[in-house]
Amino acid sequence: CISNKEMIHELQLKGYGDLEKEKLFLKSFESLYLLYAEKLILRKAKKQINFDDLLAMCQKNDSETLTKFLIYRDLKTRGYVIKDGFGFGSDFRVYERGHFGEKGAKFLIFGLNEGQQEKMGALQKKIDEITRMGKEPIIAVIERRGEVIYYKINKMNFFENKARLEDSFEF
C-alpha cells in the first residue's frame, strides 16, 4: 500500500497498482518487480523486507507467484504496461506500447511452467472467451532456466472429410 501522493501519481502513470481511497495497492508481482528493480523499499514494522522474504510470503498465498513475477518482469523489461488479468484463466492484460490509458489491453496472457499439463478442452475454452472479447490470447511458457517464451494462439478449425477418410481405409 502506497500513500505518498507523488509516488502514487508516478506509479499510476506507469500502470502500477489499483487506487482505492487515495492509496495505491500493488499486486504481489508488482511489488516483487519494484523490489527486484530496486525502486521500492518495503518495511514491516521497522524491519526492511527483501525480495526473497517477500517472495516467500507471497508464495504462501499463491503458488504461482514466481511464475507471474517472471512473466511480469520479462514484459516490463520489453516496455509493456501490464495489469492483472480479469478471469478466463488469464494472468495478465498487456497493453500495446504507448497505448496504456488510451485503448484497452490488446493481449491476454496466461502462464504455464514447462512440463505443466493443461487440458485441451480448458485451453480451447480460454481461447474462445478471449477471442470473443476481441483480445489476442498468448501463452507464456516458463522454461526450467526461468526464460519466458511466448506463443500466440489462433483458433483453428479442422473439418472432417468423410469421403477421403472412407477412401483411405478401403482394402
Instruction: Please tell me what DSSP assigns to residue 2.
Output: B
**For 3-45, how does the pLDDT look when each residue is reduced to its tens digit (9 = 90+)?**
888 888 888 888 888 888 888 999 999 999 999 999 888 888 8
Which pLDDT value is given to residue 36?
A: 94
User: Model pTM?
Assistant: 0.81
pLDDT above 90 covers a percentage of the chain that reads 24
Rounded to whole angstroms, the Cα distance separating 157 from 75 reads 30
**CB-based contacts of 86: which residues, under 8 Å, 6+ apart?**
93
Residue position matching grid coordinates 484497452: 104
CB count in 10 Å sphere of residue 88: 17
**CB-based contacts of 97: which residues, under 8 Å, 6+ apart?**
79, 80
pLDDT beyond 90 at 148: yes
